[in-house]
Structure 1
């Protein structure tokens, strides 16, 4: 059987996108019934009871039924976590995706690894059981004792179930429905027949059902109670498969969660009924068919088959059906174990957490190709390897699966609480189903993990092997194998998430470490990095102090992800800051930046084009950017954009959020229409919100819906900016999204008229003296007499140059802010240049002297001329 070479697989496409429901899996293929069937079949109810009920009875005696019922509670709590998380993000990666969004890519990767470890280990067990029961069903009991033949049969079963999963989710679901029907029908037949015989035939070891069986206080000790629940909780494992196939389910945000809850409740009914009837019929004795007989602990149902159904008439047939039931249970569970394992790896590949080849889909059946086949082969390899090494190691490996299960179930519960932490106080329902119940489930799983790993499984007498660990001593092999498998995943995690961690560090280091606090505006910002290795990109924001107390505001979004995107962002941010210091208008700044990107692209194409598959373009091509300049003296704000960037404005006089209709401009480097600037007046106290697409697309794919949510978050615009930022992020990005999100909030201020003094002078030489006089008088009024000499000299030189080299009126303006700013405007368009005058030059020293006295100086151009500005530090 050549699964990897079926039609269409050789050129299978990659997942279309990494977003929930966008990877290309066959959506709408499953309904509620199929999802419930998959969830139930994954738990293998018949086999789970056959293999576990004897162990539970050995620990707690007659209280076995209540123990199987109590184990339902933490599973139900975790099922609610799955339901709520799936409603928010229906991603087939489940724990991997949700933990990544809640805690970051490293924690998410470990959650995915926990699923992989649990599924591969249990696949080996299920395949071996299917082989053994297949021989029993056919009457070849002697082959069940042969390690070689049971392994061969197990390999065949894995291959068959992998093939079924490979050729389509509908076929998988159909097979599950029939297998589950046989399993549940025979279980109900067994339970009813056993109870009827207890109350009508009085079998030898039968005992009548008692209310004390359902009282946990009758368990001998707290340790026995914990150990019993620890054994019983794993018989519920597997229902989460109903959620793992969410991207292939109709109404993917609701149906999988409902299926998970229904599956857990149905399991409770089945387990309570079968456990009660089996105990009533066989008792808890340690001889014969008694459930306490350790010889039958690995399979109590098969031993009870002949006793319950009898050896005459249809009894042998029903006994065979009981064997068939355990066989179908193991086979069904093996198949549904492949489904979540393959889709978890598929999602991890789509998010670039594992090699992308595992994100390939079959063109016809729309099933994961590489991940399905590879994990089937991995399960076969694990079974053959451990069977070859030792049956004892295989047995301990199978028992250690409980550690992986409690690990990723508990992680999912904690992820739910942290993911929704900002909305837990929104309503009682949110607090209960998003916080309290998942949190209790997570704490229960954490306790079970620690108790099992460090108390039960670590005991030298537990399990089939004992290992002498350095500094620890003799330790049970189950703990060593289970924790060792998780530790292996931790080591792999450090390797595969290295690039993401480096990209995130680079991204954060290139963003402003803290915002400046100029007089012009009050500011607050939020940067939410994407949730996965594929998502960390190059969104950025910046606040740039400009001359004349103005301030430049910028947000940008780089196409792409990872280190290249972060590096490109740093290059563009630096370019914007350099160009902004030239005091360019927003449209001219974007034009210069566009030229820079285009020129870089041509240079790279020239270098990499020769002999390469194709020219390498600049990573900055297609970047969107919005640049705004706000002037607190005039209250005017000017904006220009490259791409589809938007801004929100809440005027202080109206309090209504609007989105200015900015002229369209092409993304950087792509050419097209020229950039244009839009200007408008803002009253003091107005709110300006600059943001990237990731902010409004995280909550909804519809941009209008996202903008509506942002409008609502900014409604109470007079609140502190930090609080408004938190509200906006909590509303629009309740957890990190598939794309970076940036929000920059700015509340405008205006300078007091007493901080600004301006005069208009004619272009006459006599005006130089007048300029010095009014300047000295204004400095005296401001109490800045210490700056009179230097400021007179600066004004005198600048006004003299304006009279000499320009025509028309001259404007002098003084601004007292954090520095003293002197501005001289004229109608000339020629910028002065600083130079060193020779010893015999009679001119050229004035601007040099000005530069020595100034903290900084420069030139900015206006539609009517230019302004030369000089800043001095206040005494």
Structure 2
């Protein structure tokens, strides 16, 4: 007997990850034909021509065909931007994701908001058109003119198309293929029939096609040209839907980009042919079937249908088919408008820009659950509100869509240029397709946006409504609606980007502001934060001065993102600095840090998600001791030109428990280069090889090498934080180090004083003789008294005077305040007063007590 399914089987899981191809959508569901069909259907060719062709003709007259072709140019340029960006980041968030990577989360949010606003606004209009044409198709003209019934029908159409999008991308694609084929077939039939009738005895309005129609110099004025192109841009809008389903497309990095370019080219052919044939048949008159007749400006195709096909028999059926075609166009575009808006919201939720609930997937259909349903509900609500307020406001809203379109298309063009700025000089192709063409497209869109918003649409007599604004007077309703929709996004921006900003600020404040200048090494670093809100995480690095002129090098990564990861990173970085000052060996330091991670607990604990590499370099003998906890090995380049990845035990990530960490040692000649990094730097294909090749030119300045490594490995923004720490080793001269071995005899105290005095005089440090004699006397006396075996004394002249006394004992002295009647206990107290720092470090055969004194200032 079958058991009933558990509730979890129907639960909607969150997207597994925010990266391209990681969100859990049904990958490989669409081919090139389906992508092209979705791209073309989103533009609603029949509806767009019906609603826009009359407006274009009224503005430019016989030059309408060339206007439809000129509007293709900026669309093609932006399509190239989409193609190039999609090739490196096939994320269904498209403009949102790419603008975030290029310009930061604020620009990304506005790009996503612009697309959503345009889609929601146009959905209300498409749904109303679908309702009107649905009633006309069945002969219910009275309902077609009723605002209430067309609104109800529009709501039904939105609900039906939302359901189709919800049940799977394959169903949506199959529906689009059939609807598009029917739509294009009827449009071509209309165009061919109209042209045949023009040349075989058409109506009195018929005019033979003339080459002058395609001459842009014949356009009456620059203002007419700009207004016409602005109106024509709307008929091409929507092809980018082919990109928003990229994560569900086979070969997601290339097929969607090809589909975008193919869609715009095919639209050019369709629009050019239909506009030319319609103008040749109906003319540009203002009466009858003339395309400039204001009574037909909202729907020129319905009037043409009866004139081209006739009103009886087959002609009546074809006219009805034309009405059906406009209905199909509006319905298909309604569906394909839900797809990009839902996936953009889905991607924004996966990147934690909107509430995480919108990142939920249907377990069986693998479609965005609340993103799809939510966009349908918002569109229905917007339709009802605008219809209730005023039908004129609803009419003006369609014009305001152009502002949102120009905004997010232009932003994408500029994002492409900035994203690829480091590689534009790599080849002519990169310069053209990644820089010049997208840049020109972005500039055209910027011009169209400004011209439309502040000149054409702002005129009080433009459109059906106007609004009186303080200080500005009466302003066209189209500008108010368009800019108002974008300003709502601006108002919401601080809220949705607050966590990213806080996490990035916290991350940067916890990292070193400036690397210390040391004798042991020369160092340079780069920290490249992730470009999405979800990406700012817990990568860190540090250069820590240690006793004996040694230096500690550390790089680590807390898995996870946002404020929690950044805060955990800060705690661990402080922990590493504290443990390093105890002069622990690398493997011992990682073991102590592992205890910290395991015992920390709590919701913010990074347990099981921390990797770290710690190294200690000694400039006296050139040895570097390293240990790692699940972190990538460093790259080492020696002065002879060899570059290799250091071989050392991998270890486990911190917080998991298990076997002890192991240490490896490297003998590094002076001038060797060590590169420590996090995974974000080399996650690209061949990233590790690319890093090694970059470091082959290690004789160059470290700052230059850092810049070249980032430009080579991360030419664009990144999903994950990336850290690079470059260190060039140095060796102390033999004349800077003096080492003596003394017998464990009380007479050795006087001998140590004489040796130290002689060497300090040779170094020109006579001012430090008295204090150094006291330090050496106390330390050597204690060593002889409490530890067996020989005594070693070492002086190092570096940026300070370092005095070290080593023995075979393992008992560390402790500083304390001696009482008045105590016979001893004042030695370390005196040493602490005479030195800048002092401490103890343990070695394999004993311990070393060290002190540091400031060198006397010159002059």
TM-score between both structures, scaled by the size of structure 2: 0.97
Match of 1:747 among 728, 752, 755: 728
Secondary structure of 1:422's aligned partner: coil
Hey, what's the Cα distance between the residues in 2 that align with 1:447 and 1:415?
Answer: 17
Hey, what's the Cα distance between the residues in 1 that align with 2:852 and 2:311?
Answer: 105
Secondary structure of 2:659's aligned partner: coil
Hey, what's the Cα distance between the residues in 2 that align with 1:644 and 1:160?
Answer: 51
Hey, what's the Cα distance between the residues in 1 that align with 2:250 and 2:650?
Answer: 39
Secondary structure of 2:422's aligned partner: helix
Secondary structure of 1:204's aligned partner: coil
Hey, what's the Cα distance between the residues in 1 that align with 2:429 and 2:693?
Answer: 22
Q: Is the 8 A contact 2:626 2:665 kept in 1?
A: yes
Hey, what's the Cα distance between the residues in 2 that align with 1:503 and 1:239?
Answer: 36
Match of 1:737 among 680, 695, 718: 718
**1:69 corresponds to which residue?**
69
Q: Is the 8 A contact 1:540 1:556 kept in 2?
A: yes
Please report how far the alpha carbon of residue 568 of structure 1 lies from its aligned counterpart in structure 2 after TM superposition: 0.8
**1:660 corresponds to which residue?**
646
Q: Is the 8 A contact 2:695 2:705 kept in 1?
A: yes
Please report how far the alpha carbon of residue 617 of structure 1 lies from its aligned counterpart in structure 2 after TM superposition: 7.7
1:854 equivalenced with 2:835 (yes/no): yes
Hey, what's the Cα distance between the residues in 1 that align with 2:736 and 2:461?
Answer: 84
Q: Is the 8 A contact 1:586 1:627 kept in 2?
A: yes
Please report how far the alpha carbon of residue 793 of structure 1 lies from its aligned counterpart in structure 2 after TM superposition: 1.8
Q: Is the 8 A contact 1:9 1:369 kept in 2?
A: no
1:644-655 alignment, distance < 5 Å: 644-653=631-640, 655=641
Please report how far the alpha carbon of residue 471 of structure 1 lies from its aligned counterpart in structure 2 after TM superposition: 2.1
Structure 1 segments (4+ residues) deviating >3 Å: 7-10
- Between stretches 258-267 and 96-105, larger displacement belongs to 96-105
Q: Return closer, same or farther for 1:80/1:9 CA change in 2, 3 Å cut-off.
A: farther
Map Cα deviations across residues 92-134 of structure 1 (whole Å, 9 max, x no partner).
1111111111112221111111111110110000010011111
1:645-794 alignment, distance < 5 Å: 645-653=632-640, 655-697=641-683, 699-700=684-685, 705-794=686-775
**1:79 corresponds to which residue?**
79
Q: Is the 8 A contact 2:10 2:363 kept in 1?
A: no
Please report how far the alpha carbon of residue 622 of structure 1 lies from its aligned counterpart in structure 2 after TM superposition: 3.1
Map Cα deviations across residues 744-771 of structure 1 (whole Å, 9 max, x no partner).
1111111111221222222222222222
Please report how far the alpha carbon of residue 313 of structure 1 lies from its aligned counterpart in structure 2 after TM superposition: 4.1
Please report how far the alpha carbon of residue 9 of structure 1 lies from its aligned counterpart in structure 2 after TM superposition: 9.1
Hey, what's the Cα distance between the residues in 2 that align with 1:572 and 1:144?
Answer: 68
- Between stretches 81-90 and 531-540, larger displacement belongs to 531-540
Map Cα deviations across residues 789-847 of structure 1 (whole Å, 9 max, x no partner).
22222222222222222222222211111111111111121112222223333332222
Secondary structure of 1:486's aligned partner: helix
Q: Is the 8 A contact 1:524 1:721 kept in 2?
A: yes
Secondary structure of 2:634's aligned partner: strand
**2:4 corresponds to which residue?**
none
Map Cα deviations across residues 346-391 of structure 1 (whole Å, 9 max, x no partner).
1111111111111111122111111111111111111111101111
1:100 equivalenced with 2:100 (yes/no): yes
Q: Is the 8 A contact 1:558 1:620 kept in 2?
A: no
**2:520 corresponds to which residue?**
520
**1:608 corresponds to which residue?**
none
**1:866 corresponds to which residue?**
847
Hey, what's the Cα distance between the residues in 2 that align with 1:644 and 1:758?
Answer: 37
Hey, what's the Cα distance between the residues in 2 that align with 1:388 and 1:842?
Answer: 96
Please report how far the alpha carbon of residue 238 of structure 1 lies from its aligned counterpart in structure 2 after TM superposition: 0.3
- Between stretches 512-521 and 829-838, larger displacement belongs to 829-838
1:146-165 alignment, distance < 5 Å: 146-165=146-165
Please report how far the alpha carbon of residue 637 of structure 1 lies from its aligned counterpart in structure 2 after TM superposition: 0.4
Q: Is the 8 A contact 1:115 1:408 kept in 2?
A: yes
**2:343 corresponds to which residue?**
343
**1:634 corresponds to which residue?**
621
Q: Is the 8 A contact 1:536 1:561 kept in 2?
A: yes
Please report how far the alpha carbon of residue 8 of structure 1 lies from its aligned counterpart in structure 2 after TM superposition: 8.9
Secondary structure of 1:646's aligned partner: coil
**1:622 corresponds to which residue?**
609
Hey, what's the Cα distance between the residues in 2 that align with 1:89 and 1:264?
Answer: 21
Q: Is the 8 A contact 1:695 1:743 kept in 2?
A: yes
Hey, what's the Cα distance between the residues in 1 that align with 2:228 and 2:515?
Answer: 57
Secondary structure of 1:850's aligned partner: helix
Please report how far the alpha carbon of residue 518 of structure 1 lies from its aligned counterpart in structure 2 after TM superposition: 0.9
**2:125 corresponds to which residue?**
125
Secondary structure of 1:194's aligned partner: helix
Please report how far the alpha carbon of residue 10 of structure 1 lies from its aligned counterpart in structure 2 after TM superposition: 5.0
Hey, what's the Cα distance between the residues in 2 that align with 1:134 and 1:144?
Answer: 8
Map Cα deviations across residues 265-318 of structure 1 (whole Å, 9 max, x no partner).
001111111111111111111111111111111111111111112234422122
Q: Is the 8 A contact 2:95 2:111 kept in 1?
A: yes
Q: Is the 8 A contact 1:9 1:362 kept in 2?
A: no
1:13 equivalenced with 2:18 (yes/no): no
Secondary structure of 1:824's aligned partner: strand
**2:456 corresponds to which residue?**
456
Q: Is the 8 A contact 1:87 1:254 kept in 2?
A: yes
Hey, what's the Cα distance between the residues in 2 that align with 1:695 and 1:620?
Answer: 23
Secondary structure of 2:648's aligned partner: coil
Hey, what's the Cα distance between the residues in 1 that align with 2:621 and 2:357?
Answer: 58
Q: How many residues align?
A: 850
Q: Is the 8 A contact 1:462 1:476 kept in 2?
A: yes
1:291-440 alignment, distance < 5 Å: 291-440=291-440
Secondary structure of 1:624's aligned partner: strand
Secondary structure of 1:739's aligned partner: coil
Secondary structure of 2:538's aligned partner: coil
Secondary structure of 1:373's aligned partner: helix
**2:782 corresponds to which residue?**
801
CA-atom RMSD in angstroms: 1.5
Q: Is the 8 A contact 1:8 1:364 kept in 2?
A: no
Q: Is the 8 A contact 2:607 2:656 kept in 1?
A: no
Please report how far the alpha carbon of residue 536 of structure 1 lies from its aligned counterpart in structure 2 after TM superposition: 1.4
Please report how far the alpha carbon of residue 439 of structure 1 lies from its aligned counterpart in structure 2 after TM superposition: 0.9
**1:609 corresponds to which residue?**
none
Secondary structure of 1:424's aligned partner: coil
Q: Is the 8 A contact 1:556 1:623 kept in 2?
A: yes
Map Cα deviations across residues 421-440 of structure 1 (whole Å, 9 max, x no partner).
11111111111111111111
- Between stretches 51-60 and 236-245, larger displacement belongs to 51-60
1:163-242 alignment, distance < 5 Å: 163-242=163-242
Q: Is the 8 A contact 1:758 1:811 kept in 2?
A: yes
Segments of structure 1 that go 5 or more residues without pairing to the other structure are 1-6, 605-615
Match of 1:643 among 609, 624, 630: 630
Please report how far the alpha carbon of residue 733 of structure 1 lies from its aligned counterpart in structure 2 after TM superposition: 2.1
Hey, what's the Cα distance between the residues in 2 that align with 1:110 and 1:138?
Answer: 42
Hey, what's the Cα distance between the residues in 1 that align with 2:841 and 2:294?
Answer: 91
Hey, what's the Cα distance between the residues in 1 that align with 2:115 and 2:749?
Answer: 81
Hey, what's the Cα distance between the residues in 2 that align with 1:342 and 1:28?
Answer: 19
Hey, what's the Cα distance between the residues in 2 that align with 1:31 and 1:667?
Answer: 41
Please report how far the alpha carbon of residue 559 of structure 1 lies from its aligned counterpart in structure 2 after TM superposition: 2.1
Q: Is the 8 A contact 1:559 1:620 kept in 2?
A: no
Please report how far the alpha carbon of residue 448 of structure 1 lies from its aligned counterpart in structure 2 after TM superposition: 0.8
Hey, what's the Cα distance between the residues in 2 that align with 1:831 and 1:14?
Answer: 55
Match of 2:826 among 835, 845, 856: 845
Hey, what's the Cα distance between the residues in 1 that align with 2:306 and 2:657?
Answer: 82
Hey, what's the Cα distance between the residues in 1 that align with 2:811 and 2:493?
Answer: 60
Secondary structure of 2:205's aligned partner: coil
